Amino acid sequence: MLHTLQSPKDLSQLSLSELESLAQEIREFLIEKVSRTGGHLGPNLGVVELTLAMHRVFDSPEDPIVFDTGHQSYIHKILTGRVEGFDQLRQGGGLAGYPSREESVHDVVENSHASTSLSWADGISRGFSLTGQSERCVVAVIGDGALTGGMAWEALNNIAVAKNQRLVIVLNDNERSYSPTIGGIAHSLAKLRSKDSEHQGIFSTLGIAYLGPINGHDLGKLEETLKEAKALTHPVVVHVVTEKGRGHKPALDDDAERFHAVGIVDSLTGKSISPSAKTWTSVFGKELALLGQERQDIVAITAAMQGPTGLNEFQKLFPERTIDVGIAEQHAVTSAAGLSFAGLHPVVALYSTFLNRAYDQLLLDVALHKAGVTFVLDRAGITGDDGASHNGVWDMALTGIVPNLRIAVPRDERRLKELLRQAICIEDAPTVVRFPKGALAHQIEAIRNLDGFDILCEREKRSVLILAVGPFAAMALEIAETLTNIPITVVDPLWVKPLSAQLLAYCASFSMLVVIEDGIEHGGIATTISEELRANHSSIQIISCGVPLKFLDHAKRSTILEENNLSAEAIGSIYAGRDATPFSWKRFPHTDSLTPARSR
């Protein structure tokens, strides 16, 4: 039955028993396919019946369906004619792991950051009302975890007084985001789930119509309630209780995350097939736990991602010093400023991309007040599989213009431990320690340390200097070892902000400087060095090898690096006299520096 579906309209011909059979078939399909490719398995197993019912009741794309975060949209993709693409889920050129307008007119919002769906839906429904399209209904699907984000409540504050807007908010309540939902929202929803007659409910208190709670796996009841909601001419919340990981015992046995996101696993046992390697995240987590034993003032903060950011070990040892704020990065950062004021040293562990959500708080609550807060940014640089909005390529450019802030980029395990310890010792300014996704780079020892930066490879003649930021040190050494006829020196700055006067003077003593960095070129490390050296009238030629200023499609990290000429072969071709297609070179405006021009 599954492979015959080309459009949501095909569902209208199915009986209730056929729909239930289809739901089971979809679960089996998802377990098989996602186990092979990796992806968000647990969240999708929980919304099979809900997605079927939504597509039976609403007329997508005429009635847009907005998925908050979008990781739970796999069934939506299946029902809108993309079932054949699941063998290439999250692979280069294959199906995206999140909604994609390029894939289908049924997909609306591609941003995979949480708590935005209600604002999107409010805007779309207001737009329909203002343009005479009042017959069109807008559906926003948001999880209880995403309701812990402040932006959702900003939207609800406006939606509560909306008139003549056909907006259905489907609250997918599985008591979890990555991990169990925390805080007052969780307690209030628990009372609603228990049908406490004395509990009016947060939505009714705001003045928003409320239907539920209903069993999110009862197709008949789902359709009945969604039809009732669709008939209304004002906003309504439909409270649907679902089970994350439903129908897959390994997922249900995973108490911590319910298979929120899996790598390549055995479809029957759920156990990883790929050999486990030591990761940046695990090294950080162990070192922070050691630091917590040494210093009673260290406090760890997570935004609903305790496990993925490596804080489990710290939490086991120091539960009272581990704070999960929910999906609330803005609150996390300003709260950290307050903790610092109270005499503690907060360590805020986030994925790099999620720091974007709290930039104002970083700038004006932390940096302005010279707060000793350490930000540990996991998944920094190109992450790949999860697409444009999960890449962590903006943090160095954004934090680079924050006064007082300092940035460390370790190249290997030893440097991660050392730089983390150095960062936590800084009490009068914010610090950032960033590292990429996945397995650790191999250990690279320095020939010598010169005034705070490491020299990894040194030639007698000062001709070409490669400044390798963090894990790109291995690539830089590969280039130097391959091009033996060219005197190439390689340095690792360790701290990329501020850049020391000694490092800048060392750079200026070479004829050419190549900067390799895992962040956007515009406003990156090469740009900063160029400005500093230009101010000192240096004539050195600077070549910037970084991430182009564009949104990157999903693919493996290695593939994206190659496509954007961030490989040893492509960068080495600069010196070997060979053009690495599609490389050509253009000058930075008003400088003597060069940056690669890439085909867009």
Which residue in 90, 230, 244, 406 is the catalytic one?
A: 244
Closest residue by Cα to residue 173 from 130, 213, 139: 213
Which residue in 223, 329, 517, 521 is the catalytic one?
A: 329
Phi/psi of residue 441, nearest 5 degrees: -75, 155
SS3 33: helix
What does DSSP assign to residue 392?
B
Closest residue by Cα to residue 171 from 99, 261, 245, 236: 236
For 78, counting Cβ atoms within 10 Å of its Cβ (0-12 exposed, 13-18 middle, 19+ buried), the class is: buried
**What are the respective helix, strand and coil percentages of the chain, to the nearest 5?**
40, 20, 40
For 103, counting Cβ atoms within 10 Å of its Cβ (0-12 exposed, 13-18 middle, 19+ buried), the class is: middle
Report the alpha-carbon distance of residue 300 to residue 374 in Å, rounded: 10
357 has catalytic annotation: yes
Strand pairing category for 298-302 and 209-215? unpaired
User: CB count, 10 Å around CB of 462?
Assistant: 15
Which residue in 77, 90, 357, 437 is the catalytic one?
A: 357
Report the alpha-carbon distance of residue 458 to residue 455 in Å, rounded: 7
329 has catalytic annotation: yes
The sheet with strand 464-468 has its strands ordered as 448-450, 453-457, 488-492, 464-468, 512-520, 541-547, 594-597, 584-587
Catalytic residue ranges = 244, 329, 357
